Amino acid sequence: MTPYVVLSSIVFTIGCVGVLTRRNAIVVFMCVELMLNASNLALVAFAKQNGNLEGQIAAFFVMVVAAAEVVVGLAIIMTIFRTRRSASVDDASLLKY
Amino acid sequence: MFVLAEGTAPVVDPGPAGGVFSLLWLVIALPALGALILLVGGPLAKGRLDRQGHLLGAAMPVLSFLISVAMFVTMLGRSSEDRQVGQHLFTWFEAGGLHVGFDLLYDPLSSLFLLLITGVGSLIFVYSIGYMEHDPRRTRFFGYLNLFVAAMLTLVLSANYLGLFLGWEGVGLASYLLIGFWQYKHSAAAAAKKAFIVNRVGDIGLSLGIALFFTTFGTTDFTTISAAAPNASEATMTALGLLLLLAACGKSAQVPLQSWLLDAMEGPTPVSALIHAATMVTAGVYLIVRSNFVFDYAPDARTVVVIVATVTLLYGAIIGCAKDDIKKVLAGSTMSQIGYMMLAAGIGIAGYPFAIFHLLNHGFFKADMFLGAGSVMHGMDDDVDMRHYGMLRKAMPVTFLTFSMGYLAIIGFPGFSGFWSKDRIIEVALDQNILVGVLAMIGAGITGFYMTRLMLMTFFTQKRWAEEVHPHESPKVMTVPLIVLAALSVFGGVMLIGNWIVNFLEPVTGTPPPENPPLPSWLVSVIVVCIVAVGVAIAWFVVGKQRVPREAPQDVSWPVRAARAELYGNEVNDELVIRPGAHLVSGLTFADRHIVDGVVEGSALAVSGTGMVVRLTQTGFVRSYALSVLLGAVLVVAALLAVNLA
């Protein structure tokens, strides 16, 4: 049991650090996916341990949300890149005080 | 000063209105209809009414007068217990326990007022046809006059205080419109506003009084109140009496609300005659006599009435001595004469009939003299300064003769109407209180002085006319009313024959207690006549024997200066009311600007300032937002762990 949770934690932490430190929007996006999948792994592992299906169902939901998010997110990134010729998240900082 | 009245006020108990009395409502409705046609129809007809409008306007009060005479004659045929007639027209409004009907009450008191208002009113209307002939807005003028008369008739005919209040306010409105009739003159517009505002002060008294009537008696009907009055507490009655006195002071121009009356001379002269003789200023006296069921049980309130009246009768007389404007002298004299009426009314049961008696006589001779003054002004190109008159008796013989009748009546020349009424008032005053009686006598002497001064400066002494002025007698339409009024001024005293007026008014005012005069009646008359003769003689030596300067001398003694300035009544108002009011308003404005607005604007500033600081956290960098989300999540997890471990 423990290895699953440890792996999940490691992957989640990698994703987290990636979101906070990387500038490229695509990479940030991939890191978000890492975090989602880390949580999926944890959900499935705990479901297996508890012997029911609730965690697995939740994992399906996360996948669906992730798929939708990718569709929308990538479209936004594409559009920003087309207008600004840049995929850096720091450049898209107009919405501020 | 006074004790509770010995006789008690009779209960108002009207019988049904049958026969000619069923026309009672028409007395009000006719002038009201006239006002409606002339004021609403006149502008709609776009000037097509102007040629006949004044005839319609003058016909209405004449018709009302005819109905009044018919009712009066019918009433005289009835026994004295049977002379109160009530007419219920419709329910005015109902609210909770308050039922107010539009009820009319016709009794000896209102019958005399009806005759005075419609009779003298009609004469003034006829006179106005000539006086206002060249005024382009004559139709509107007659509309206002009709409104005035309708309001005054409502006032004296209503059977409850709310109806009376309706008429009361109507009179205030109509006087405002008429005093300011020549509104393009700044002084006329200001005088109209002044009259309106000063009258509002008095109206506070009447409206509070009505409220107190309702809380005490549960109604405003004269019938119920007069029946319940003997059981009410004296404190309540005193409060009611003082509130009604405040109202009467406003309408009847008694001190301290007298200041509007002299300024009200800015209106056309027939209006002055109407205000001073037949309507408006008599309303205060009517209110007090009508409310005798209050004042009979409130001796303290009556004492205040007498004090106010005595002060006013001297106040007005003193003002009359120093004014050069003929209309203002007459206005001062009105104040003074109304003071006599209030004095009689304040004395109580013994005085009420004489208050009304003097009111009627005053209505005759004051209307006569005001219209006479208007006739003089008509001939003198609207000049009102008596210093520009002189020797007019040759140029205007009819005006001179009729004016003389009014003059002899007001100074109380033996045999003329004013002699009988003023004498009786002084007698009952002496009977009650020596000081008041003596002051009333002195007032009569001053009356003799200022009226003689007016007569001499206008009709005698030297010609002091401006060069381009050619005095001429007025047309017949103006002199005929003067002649009628002069005759009434001479013969008004017949109402006292056989004590008729006292007996006639007894169903309303109550049975007077037996008199116990300190001096015999004939001696009082002789003394009063002597005092008046002294006043006349002084006027002869001061004015008649000397050359009257065309300009008013400026190096005069302080009493003359004070009297010319209306005894500083306006200055007192300025200091006591207007200036503190102005200070209060500027203080409130300051508080509003700086305290109320300060709180509102300060809190708005605080919110927006906080917003300015907090919005700096919005950097626009996605990563910093992500960091704060992470920190938040870590905090939540830490909190959950802490709770679980604990």
Q: Around Cβ A29, how many Cβ atoms within 10 Å?
A: 21
Segment B250-257 mean pLDDT = 89
B627 touches chain A (CB under 8 A): yes
pLDDT digits (tens, 9 = 90+) for B213-231: 999 998 889 988 988 888 8
Q: Residues A11-33: pLDDT tens digits?
A: 999 999 999 999 899 999 999 99
Task: Give me the pLDDT at residue B1, please.
Answer: 47
DSSP state letter for A95: S
In which band, very low, low, confident or very high, does the pLDDT at B123 lie, cut at 50, 70 and 90?
Answer: very high
Disruptive mutation site among B608, B614, B622, B624 for chain A (greatest number of A CBs within 10 Å):
B622
Question: Looking at this protein, which amino acid is placed at residue B144?
Answer: Y
DSSP state for residue B95 in the 8-state scheme: E
Contacts from B95-100 at CB under 8 Å and sequence distance 24+? B97/B218, B98/B214, B98/B219, B99/B219, B100/B160, B100/B162, B100/B163, B100/B220
What integer pLDDT is reported at residue B633 of this predicted model?
92
Mean pLDDT, range B612-638, rounded to an integer: 90
The DSSP 8-state label assigned to residue B515 in this structure reads: P
Smallest CA–CA distance from A13 into chain B, residue: B630
Q: Kindly report which listed range (A46-50, B39-43, B201-205, B444-448) carries the lowest average pLDDT score.
A: B39-43
* Structure confidence at residue B48 (pLDDT): 75
| Residue B550: DSSP 8-state | S
Say if B549 is an interface residue toward chain A (CB within 8 Å): no
Find, among B401, B263, B254, the residue nearest to B338 by Cα.
B254
Position B96 scores a pLDDT of 79
Of residues B338 and B431, more confidently modeled:
B338
Residue B8 pLDDT exceeds 80: no
Confirm or reject contact between B618 and chain A (CB < 8 A). yes
Looking at residues B16-35, what average pLDDT do you find? 89
Task: Kindly state the DSSP code that residue B47 receives in the 8-state scheme.
Answer: T
Q: pLDDT grade, residue B238 (50/70/90)? A: very high
Q: What is the per-residue pLDDT for B7?
A: 55
DSSP per residue over B467-502, as a string? TT----PPPHHHHHHHHHHHHHHHHGGGGGGGGHHH
Q: How many Cα atoms within 13 Å fall on the side-chain side of residue B162?
A: 18
Bridge partners of residue B160, in order along the sequence? B221
Q: Give me the amino acid identity at B454.
A: L
CA distances from B73 to B68, B95, B108, B115 (A): 9, 39, 11, 11
- Tell me if B623 and A20 make a contact (CB, 8 A cut-off): yes
Q: Which residues of B touch A89 (CB under 8 A)?
A: 621-623
The mean pLDDT value for B281-295 works out to 92
B580: amino acid identity, one letter:
P
pLDDT reported for residue B389: 87
Written as one letter, the residue type at B59 is: A
Sheet hosting strand B98-106, strand order edge to edge: B15-16, B85-95, B98-106
How far A65 CA lies from chain B's nearest CA (Å)?
19
Chain B contact set for A97 (CB, 8 A): 615-616, 618-620
**What φ, ψ does residue B224 adopt, rounded to 5°?**
-65, -40
Quick check: bond before B256 cis, omega within 30?
Answer: yes
Task: State the average pLDDT over residues B115-140.
Answer: 90
State the average pLDDT for chain B: 89
**CB atoms B620 and A19 under 8 Å:** no
CB atoms within 10 A of CB B350: 24
Q: Does residue B5 surpass a pLDDT of 60?
A: no
Among B41-55, B154-168, B587-601, the minimum mean pLDDT is found in B41-55
pLDDT tens per residue across span B308-321? 999 999 999 999 99
Q: Which chain B residues have a beta carbon less than 8 Å from that of A95?
A: 618, 620
Query: Rounded to whole angstroms, how far apart are CA atoms B237 and B258?
Result: 25
E strand residue ranges, A1-97: none
Mark yes or no for CB contact B620/A96 under 8 Å. yes
Q: What is the mean pLDDT of residues B382-394?
A: 86
Any A CB within 8 A of B623 CB = yes
Listed ranges B186-190, B502-506, B513-517; the one with the highest mean pLDDT: B186-190
Q: H or E stretch including B99?
A: strand B98-106
Q: How far is Cα of residue B472 from the mean position of the Cα atoms in its chain? A: 33
**What confidence score (pLDDT) does residue A59 get?**
94
> Would you say residue A66 has pLDDT above 80?
yes
B253: left (phi over 0), alpha (psi -120 to 50) or beta: left
The structure tokens 């300190």 sit at: B518
Considering only CB atoms, which chain B residues are within 8 Å of A20? 623, 626-627, 630
Contacts of B347 (CB under 8 A, 6+ apart): B2, B302, B306, B428, B429, B432
β-bridge mates for residue B90, sequence order: B102
Q: Is the pLDDT of residue B443 over 60?
A: yes
- Give Cβ neighbours of residue A90 (< 8 Å, ≥ 6 apart): A23, B621, B622, B623
B406 phi and psi angles, rounded to 5 deg: -60, -40
Nearest CA distance, A22 vs chain B (angstrom): 9
Q: Is the pLDDT of residue B513 over 80?
A: no
Per residue in B267-305, is it b (16+ CB within 10 Å) or e — as a string? bbbbbbbbbbbbbbbbbbbbbbbbbbbbbbbbbbbbbbb
Which chain B residue has the Cα nearest residue A91? B621
Whether residue B611 lies within 8 A of chain A, CB to CB, comes out as no
Stretch B517-527: mean pLDDT: 84
Q: What is the per-residue pLDDT across B490-508, written as a single tens digit (0 to 9) for each?
A: 998 888 888 888 888 888 8
Residues in A touching B626 (Cβ below 8 Å): 19-20
3-class secondary-structure state, position A51: coil
Give residue B231's pLDDT: 86
Q: Which of A16, A28, A95 is opposite residue B630, by nearest beta carbon?
A: A16
Is the per-residue pLDDT at B473 higher than 50?
yes
| The two three-digit tokens of residue B292, written as one number | 């005798």
From B187, B184, B153, select the one nearest B167 (Cα to Cα): B153
- Report, as an integer, the average pLDDT of A65-79: 92
Residue B591 Cα, gap to closest chain A Cα (Å): 38
User: How far apart, in whole angstroms, are the C-alpha atoms of residue B471 and residue B399?
Assistant: 12
Q: Which two tokens stand for residue A88?
A: 């850096």
B134 interface with A at CB cutoff 8 Å: no
Q: What letter represents residue B512's amino acid?
A: P
Distance CA B18, CA B493 (A): 32
Winning range, highest mean pLDDT, from B76-85, B342-351, B507-516: B342-351
Q: What is the pLDDT of residue B573?
A: 84
CB contact under 8 A, B623 and A92: no
Query: From residue A65, how far is each of A20, A58, B71 by CA, in Å?
Result: 21, 11, 100
Q: Which residues pair with A88 in a beta bridge?
A: A24
Task: Give how far A94 is from chain B: nearest CA, Å.
Answer: 6
Q: What does the pLDDT look like over B528-540, one tens digit per residue?
A: 999 999 999 999 9
Q: Check CB contact of B608 with chain A, cutoff 8 Å.
A: no
Is A1 in CB contact (< 8 Å) with chain B? no
Q: Given an 8 Å threshold on Cβ–Cβ distance, is B621 in contact with A90? A: yes
Closest Cα partner for B11 from B227, B231, B290, B292? B227
